[in-house]
Amino acid sequence: MRESRWWILSLSAAALMVVLLTLHMGLMHLSGLMKVLGVDPGDVRSFAAVMERGRSLAQMVFYLLFLGAALYHGLYGLRSVLLEVTPPRGQGVLSGLVLAAGLLAFAYGAYVTVRTFTG
């Protein structure tokens, strides 16, 4: 695949992260600001609220998307840095290692999210 497609994907992941991170920060960490804006997310960090959110399909999809976008964007950047110090003959191995690391991390993150959803 042409390098530009990976690059466009990385930019798209960044744009998606802006949306998802805004929602995450607004709901989880900036409840005071949200109240000023007329939205009261409630006590989102209590045990009951966390467990209830974990069983929500929308939340599961949200976090899987967030996980995938953040992992792809971060690991593509890491690969770009490492490519600069890797000779062309080693770039296939490097890309493979980064892909494997990404898949492993996504599998672990997805397992936790899905496991929480299914109880």
Partner 1 sequence: MAERAHGAVETGIVTVTVRVSRFHPETDRSSGQQDYLVPAGPGMTVLDALVYIKEHLDGSLAYRSSCRMGICGSCGMFISGLPRLACQTQIRALGPVVTVEPLPNYPVVRDVVPDLEPMVTHHTAVRPFIVRGGEEQEYPTAEYLQTPVELDAYLQFAYCIKCGICLSACPTLATDPAFAGPQALAQVYRYSADSRDDGRRARLGAVDIAHGIWRCHLAGACTEACPKGVDPALAIQLLKRLIVADVLGIGRRRGPAPVAPPDMQAQRRPDIPAAPPATVPGGSGAQKNQP
Q: Is 83 in the site for partner 1 (CB under 8 A)?
A: yes
C-alpha–C-alpha distance, residues 17 and 15, integer Å:
5
Q: Is 8 in the site for partner 1 (CB under 8 A)?
A: yes
Closer to partner 1 by Cβ: residue 11 or 107? 11
- Record the tokens describing residue 55, joined without a space: 């069983």
C-alpha–C-alpha distance, residues 67 and 106, integer Å:
7
Q: Is 40 in the site for partner 1 (CB under 8 A)?
A: no
- Angle CA 27–24–64, to nearest 5: 135
C-alpha–C-alpha distance, residues 65 and 59, integer Å:
10
Whole-number minimum distance, CB 37 to partner 1, in Å? 35
Scanning 5-13, 28-36, 37-45, 59-67 for contacts with partner 1 by CB under 8 A, the matching segment is 5-13
Q: Is 82 in the site for partner 1 (CB under 8 A)?
A: no
Of 78, 80, 98, 106, the residue at the interface with partner 1 (CB under 8 A) is 80
Of residues 89-108, those binding partner 1 (CB under 8 A): 91, 95
C-alpha–C-alpha distance, residues 70 and 113, integer Å:
15
Q: What is the CA radius of gyration of the chain?
A: 18
Residues making contact with partner 1 (CB under 8 A): 2-5, 7-8, 80, 83-85, 87-88, 91, 95
